[in-house]
Structure 1
Amino acid sequence: MTSTPDTVDRSSSASPDELAHFNRLAQQWWDSDGPFASLHAINPLRMSFVERYSDAGDSRVLDVGCGGGILAEALARSGATVTALDLAEDVIAVARDHAPDHLEIDYQVADITRFAPEHAGAFDVVTCMEMLEHVEEPARIIQALAEAVRPGGHVFLSTLNRNAKSWLLGIVAAEYLLNMVPRGTHDHRHFIRPGELARMARAAGLKPIASTGIVYNPITREFSLHDRDLDVNYLMAFVKDS
């Protein structure tokens, strides 16, 4: 049963409203033409970035905020042993039902801030994609991600920049004009500038090693990576201090 706002533990890192929003859409997660079409479209780009800077395909990987498992399945197909966490119970149920039996994915309804202390240094690679802009305390999440990865291991984050362009393209265009993501998915106040993300990561003992932007071309309707354009969606790679 999905928790209601009255029963959610207030110490959780997730907002009850955010969980309810994604639980309502759970059954549409794997519809590549549905509300999560953009996640399906950018997933090969996310994978290429992760594989460029780590040996994820031969690693113990933790995917935090995994949603319905789009990235988790791709990581497992590359050869990784994957643990995938999310607090949206209905979404995790969809992820478990969709995953082929031969893929090594352990889906858990778990809060990373509680999971990390019990699994400190247990993972070679940690990913957290399109989640930080949905939490109230991103620095707290990043600290937990850093705790879960081993010294010398890699952490990969993606989120949205906070500026006028990201409001126009990431919310007005994406949610209201192009219907690329469901309306109400994002709150521009929670977007994170790259410099802010880097500072939070450094405070957690993570060293930034690379960044790139995810850019959408409305004419070709395709996404691509552009290292010099972090204005809207972007990815960052970090290594944990040894």
Structure 2
Amino acid sequence: MTAEKLNADPAELAKFSELAHRWWDLESEFRPLHDINPLRLEWIESLAPVSGQRLVDVGCGGGILADSLARRGAQVLGIDLASKALKVAQVHALEAGTKGVKYREISAEALAAEMPGQFDGVTCMEMLEHVPDPASVVRACATLVKPGGWVFFSTINRNAKAFALAIVGAEYVMGMLPRGTHEYAKLLRPSELAAHCRGAGLELQQMRGLQHNPLTRRYWLSEDTGVNYMVATRRPLAS
């Protein structure tokens, strides 16, 4: 399968590959992901405890979430199309002695065709805003999970507030993320993501906003989905 046929933007893959060696540097551009990881992990566990579960982390990057899920007792497969980031994730798992996590360079769509209904849960965090066709990824996630299983997404809203805070503020003023990390046109409104989920046969269970104080670097969950937000869905049990 050629890169042109994949649901991936070569420029996006190149962008994250160039930064791959910095995934586990807590003072790097990826610090925000490390800072929010405990919060999103606790939110996932509050809805669907992961110990003993077979999970797939779609768009796993350097393995920040996949590694922490495995440390909670899950059997985790992390998938991505950024080769260098996957190698960093594999090396980190070896160095940290993390058990129960494996990584593969494969698209969500290809894995869904290979392993439909094989996972208890799916996570797809901070990834949908980086692909040409987010609805295709949502459908793949719905296909991967077993009936009754949970699928979790997180992304960024598309509005003036998100543009000001997540792009201008985070990338150009505060320098929290590299410039060009996000493209405004690729951001997803909650209503759009909800429609993608319904179209894929997933039932919306919960939506939470992710708030941030840049001065204290504190993050918390709220009802405000104006910028960053997370969505919990389930595949219905077979009737």
Inter-partner Cα distance in structure 1 for 2:21 and 2:39: 24
Cα pair 1:8 1:16 within 8 Å, conserved: no
Give runs of aligned pairs for residues 126-165 of structure 1, distance below 5 A: 126-165=122-161
Inter-partner Cα distance in structure 1 for 2:24 and 2:98: 18
Amino acid at match of 2:31: A
Q: Does 1:177 align with 2:173?
A: yes
Amino acid at match of 1:61: L
Name the counterpart of 1:238.
233
Counterpart among 56, 60, 70 of residue 66 in structure 1: 60
Name the counterpart of 2:99.
103
Q: Which moved more, 1:170-179 or 1:51-60?
A: 51-60
Q: Does 1:196 align with 2:192?
A: yes
Q: Which moved more, 1:9-18 or 1:155-164?
A: 9-18
Inter-partner Cα distance in structure 1 for 2:217 and 2:110: 40
RMSD: 1.1
Structure 1 spans left out of the alignment, 5+ residues: 1-6
Q: Does 1:19 align with 2:16?
A: no
Name the counterpart of 1:219.
215
1:1-22 deviation line (CA, Å, top 9, x unaligned): xxxxxx9521111110000000
Give runs of aligned pairs for residues 106-121 of structure 1, distance below 5 A: 106-121=102-117
Cα pair 1:122 1:148 within 8 Å, conserved: yes
Inter-partner Cα distance in structure 2 for 1:210 and 1:173: 28
Counterpart among 164, 167, 172 of residue 163 in structure 2: 167
Inter-partner Cα distance in structure 1 for 2:87 and 2:98: 17
Inter-partner Cα distance in structure 2 for 1:8 and 1:121: 26
Stretches of 4+ aligned residues off by more than 4 angstroms? none
Give, in angstroms, the shift of residue 103 of structure 1: 1.4
Give, in angstroms, the shift of residue 102 of structure 1: 4.2
Cα pair 1:215 1:223 within 8 Å, conserved: yes
Amino acid at match of 1:230: T
Inter-partner Cα distance in structure 2 for 1:189 and 1:49: 28
Inter-partner Cα distance in structure 1 for 2:98 and 2:41: 20
Cα pair 2:71 2:98 within 8 Å, conserved: no
Q: Does 1:94 align with 2:60?
A: no
Structure 2 SS opposite 1:230: coil
Structure 1 SS opposite 2:3: coil
1:71-103 deviation line (CA, Å, top 9, x unaligned): 001000000000000000000000000013341
Amino acid at match of 2:236: D
Give, in angstroms, the shift of residue 156 of structure 1: 0.2
Inter-partner Cα distance in structure 2 for 1:174 and 1:157: 21
Structure 2 SS opposite 1:10: helix
Structure 1 SS opposite 2:51: helix
Give, in angstroms, the shift of residue 104 of structure 1: 0.9
Structure 2 spans left out of the alignment, 5+ residues: none
Cα pair 1:22 1:91 within 8 Å, conserved: yes
Structure 1 SS opposite 2:4: coil
